[in-house]
């Protein structure tokens, strides 16, 4: 019996190890190094892995190149489940291995893809060099060659029993340090307006508390400020500052229009269409609603996200269910 198993193992492992077809799965920085590995200088074809498949159904190897956040995690899980057995995973880069630079102080990153799917080879570095990825593929080939059909099943099943059995996975979110600050920021902001701003003479300020925003911006647009470069929101604890930063291509200068709002203000999408994404982002991050915005929604966080992360009093739940969108 053992002789048969080892013979089958040898044949299977030989064929599996030498034609690992990777799945094109790149989310961020490591994806560029993955592309570089496939390009002419580091020709990945030497190791039988040049056939990149765009469908998970045709691929053997998932090279997870890049950061996975809570919005992307269900997608990764589904793609992994769609791959046919035998399937292998390389966690490429520090983010995929354990959160990397984003494991602290941030609320949205999953600290390591091994919380979601089983990982065969960990490849840390930020980002790994192409040579390192080739080395990881060689290591995986070695691992495959020593495997037996029986142990492979155990490896996957052990991970399954830990995690994938649950339909919705709770991922422990990192503890977030809350910056405690005084409530004096509005006063400070006002004081700051009056200062001589000789360093950047092209900038002017308007501060208004009454809602004359739409009028002011319409006048500014008529006077040549034809571009709204961005809306910068800041949480000053008792109110949120919105800084509309305009630019005039005629006068080649910036202009800043600041307002302070509690929870609601007018949308300026009628005057500057580019404000749409900005307003959605501010709604997502600060909880400010914009009257008249065509489709106010959470832009960056998943729809089921709780709280507004860039508020100073934002507290991250310890365990967060954001998976069933």
Partner 1 sequence: MSRMKLNLGPQHPSTHGVLRLILDVDGEKISGCEPVIGYLHRGMEKMAEGMTYLQYLPTVDRIDYLSGFFNSFAYVSAVEKLLKLEIPERASIIRVLLMELNRIASHLLWLGTYLLDLGAVSPFFYTFRERELILNYFEKISGQRMMYNYFVFGGVRHDIEFLNEIAPMVKTIVEKLGDYEKLLTDNPIFISRTKNTGILSREEALAYSITGPNLRASNSHLDFRSQSDLYKNFEFKIAKADEGDCFARYKVRLDEIRESSKIIYQAVDFLAATTGDVNTGLKPLNLKIDHGEAFADVETPRGLTTCCIKSDGTDKPYRVKWRTGSFYAVQILPKLLIGNMISDVMAIYGSLDVMLPEVDR
Q: Does 269 bind partner 1 (CB under 8 A)?
A: no
Task: Determine the longest span between alpha carbons in the chain, in angstroms.
Answer: 88
* Smallest distance, partner 1 to C-beta of residue 235, A: 8
Spacing of C-alpha 131 from chain mean position: 26
161, 198, 252, 324: which one contacts partner 1 (CB under 8 A)?
Answer: 252
From candidates 13, 20, 22, 25, binder to partner 1 by CB under 8 A: 25
The residue within the footprint of partner 1, chosen from 122, 255, 260, 272 (CB under 8 A), is 272
- The least distance separating partner 1 from the CB of residue 3, rounded to whole angstroms, comes to 43
C-beta pairs of 272-279 under 8 Å, 24+ apart in sequence: 272/217, 272/221, 272/227, 272/228, 274/227, 274/228, 275/228, 275/231, 278/228, 278/230, 278/231, 279/231
Q: Which is nearer to partner 1, 27 or 293 (CB)?
A: 27
State the Cα–Cα distance between residues 283 and 307, nearest whole angstrom: 11
Letters for 82-121 (x = contact with partner 1 by CB under 8 A, - = none) are: -------------------xx-xxxxxx------------
Tokens (6 digits) for 211: 């809602």
Cβ-in-10-Å burial (0-12, 13-18, 19+) of 23 comes to buried
The count of residues interacting with partner 1 (CB under 8 A) is 70
**Among residues 302, 320, 322, 323, which is the contact residue for partner 1, using CB under 8 A?**
302
Q: What x-and-dash track marks residues 160-189 binding partner 1 by CB under 8 A? A: ----------------xx-x-x---x--x-
Q: Give φ, ψ of 104 to 5 degrees.
A: -115, 160
Task: Record the tokens describing residue 84, joined without a space.
Answer: 């046919």
Region from 62-70, 144-152, 163-171, 260-268 binding partner 1, contact rule CB under 8 A: 62-70
Residue 39 binding partner 1, by CB under 8 A = yes
72: CB partners within 8 A, 6+ apart: 27
Q: How far is CA 140 from the centre of its chain?
A: 27
Residue 23, beta-bridge partner list: 53, 62
Considering only residues 151, 192, 291, 294, which one is a binding residue for partner 1 as defined by CB under 8 A?
Answer: 192
Quote the least distance from Cβ 36 to partner 1, whole Å. 6
157 binds partner 1 (CB under 8 A): no
| CB contact set of 77 (below 8 Å; sequence gap of 6+) | 116, 117, 164, 169
Q: Assess 301 for contact with partner 1 (CB under 8 A).
A: yes
- Residues at the contact surface with partner 1, assessed by CB under 8 A: 24-29, 31-33, 35-36, 39-41, 52, 54, 66-67, 69, 71-72, 75, 79, 101-102, 104-109, 126-127, 129, 176-177, 179, 181, 185, 188, 192, 199-200, 226-230, 232-235, 243, 245, 249, 252, 254, 272-274, 276-277, 285, 298-302, 309-310
């Amino acid at each position: 019996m053992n002789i048969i198993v080892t013979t089958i193992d040898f044949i299977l492992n030989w064929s599996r190890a030498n034609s690992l077809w990777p799945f094109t799965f790149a989310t961020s920085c490591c994806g560029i190094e993955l592309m570089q590995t496939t390009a002419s200088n580091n020709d990945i074809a030497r190791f039988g892995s040049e056939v990149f498949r765009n469908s998970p159904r045709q691929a053997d190897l998932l090279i997870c190149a890049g950061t996975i956040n809570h919005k992307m995690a269900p997608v990764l899980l589904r793609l992994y489940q769609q791959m046919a057995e035998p399937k292998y995973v390389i966690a490429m880069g520090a983010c995929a291995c354990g959160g990397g630079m984003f494991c602290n102080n941030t609320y949205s990153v999953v600290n390591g893809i091994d919380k979601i799917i089983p990982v065969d080879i960990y490849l840390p570095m930020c980002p790994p060099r192409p040579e390192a990825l080739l080395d990881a593929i060689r290591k995986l080939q070695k691992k495959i060659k020593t495997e037996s059909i029986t142990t492979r099943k155990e490896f996957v099943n052990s991970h399954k029993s830990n995690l994938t059995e649950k339909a919705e996975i709770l991922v422990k979110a990192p503890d977030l340090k809350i910056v405690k600050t005084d409530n004096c920021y509005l006063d400070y902001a006002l004081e700051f307006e009056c200062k001589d701003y000789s360093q950047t003479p092209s900038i002017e300020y308007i501060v208004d508390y009454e809602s004359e925003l739409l009028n002011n911006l319409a006048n500014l647009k008529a006077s040549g400020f034809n571009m709204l470069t961005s809306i910068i929101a800041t949480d000053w604890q008792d109110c949120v500052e919105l800084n509309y930063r305009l630019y005039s291509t005629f006068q080649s200068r910036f202009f800043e229009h600041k307002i302070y709002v509690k929870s609601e203000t007018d949308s300026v999408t009628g005057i500057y269409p580019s404000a749409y994404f900005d307003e959605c982002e501010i709604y997502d991050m600060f909880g400010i609603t914009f009257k008249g915005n065509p489709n106010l929604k959470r832009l960056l966080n998943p729809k089921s996200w709780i709280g507004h992360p860039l508020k100073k009093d934002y507290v991250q739940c310890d365990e967060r269910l954001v998976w069933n969108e």
